[in-house]
Amino acid sequence: MHRYLTRAALVALGGVIAVASTGCATTDPGRTPPASSAPAGGDAGLGSAPGDGSTGQPAPTGGPAGDGGQTGGGQTGGGNTGGGNSSGSGTHGRKPSGPTIDHYRIKQKPQCDQGTNVNRVQGLPVILEWKVTGADQVTISVDGSGVYDTYPAVGSATINFSCGDGEPGEYVTHTYLLRTVGGGEARSKTLTASALVHEIPSV
């Protein structure tokens, strides 16, 4: 009898195990099936970089080159490397030392004699004027010869204009060299004046 009881207990235990196994495998008809186990895209996916939440792709980290970022014209453009620092550092605008001839010009143009031997019209002399700074005096030489005369640093000179060497219809030319005296290294400048020689008929 003890053997029969033991067999009955084993049969009952086997039935319980079978029922338990069957109950784990069945699904409740009113339940929603579980979601797919495939990795979710975007933020939920494993190993995915931060993206836009829809495609799972990494979000862009900056604009295209040259769109106004740090390497655009604001940092490496002109302005820092432009001119300005080098200007004014040379000798531009600096006057040379010693005398300076501010101006030297012909105030009145010369003329040769004209008219007739009975009614002769005298010609005009040449008048020169000048202004010199930084010098004591100036000298004037005519046609490259020695000093014609000495004058103050600012003034004018009236010099007779000779037309005797020219032929009627030709121009006679004379040169006038101004040269500074005192105040440092001498400066000089030359002017040239011309006049037409007229025929003087006899009547």
Give me the domains of the chain, ranges plus CATH numbers: 100-196 (2.60.40)
3-state DSSP: the chain helix, strand, coil percent, rounded to 5?
Answer: 15, 30, 55
Reported as a single tens digit per residue, the pLDDT across 72-92 is 444 444 444 444 444 444 445
- Which pLDDT value is given to residue 93? 62
Look over the chain and give the mean of its residue pLDDT values, rounded to a whole number. Answer: 72
Residue 63 has pLDDT above 70, yes or no: no
pLDDT for residue 39 is more than 80: no
pLDDT of res. 184: 95
Note the pTM of the prediction, 2 decimals.
0.54
Instruction: Please work out, in degrees rounded to the nearest 5, the angle formed at the alpha carbon of residue 32 by the alpha carbons of 30 and 37.
Output: 150
pLDDT digits (tens, 9 = 90+) for 153-187: 999 999 999 998 899 999 999 999 999 999 999 99
Q: Measured between alpha carbons, how far is 177 from 92 in angstroms, rounded to an integer?
A: 29
pLDDT tens for each residue of 5-22: 455 555 555 544 444 444
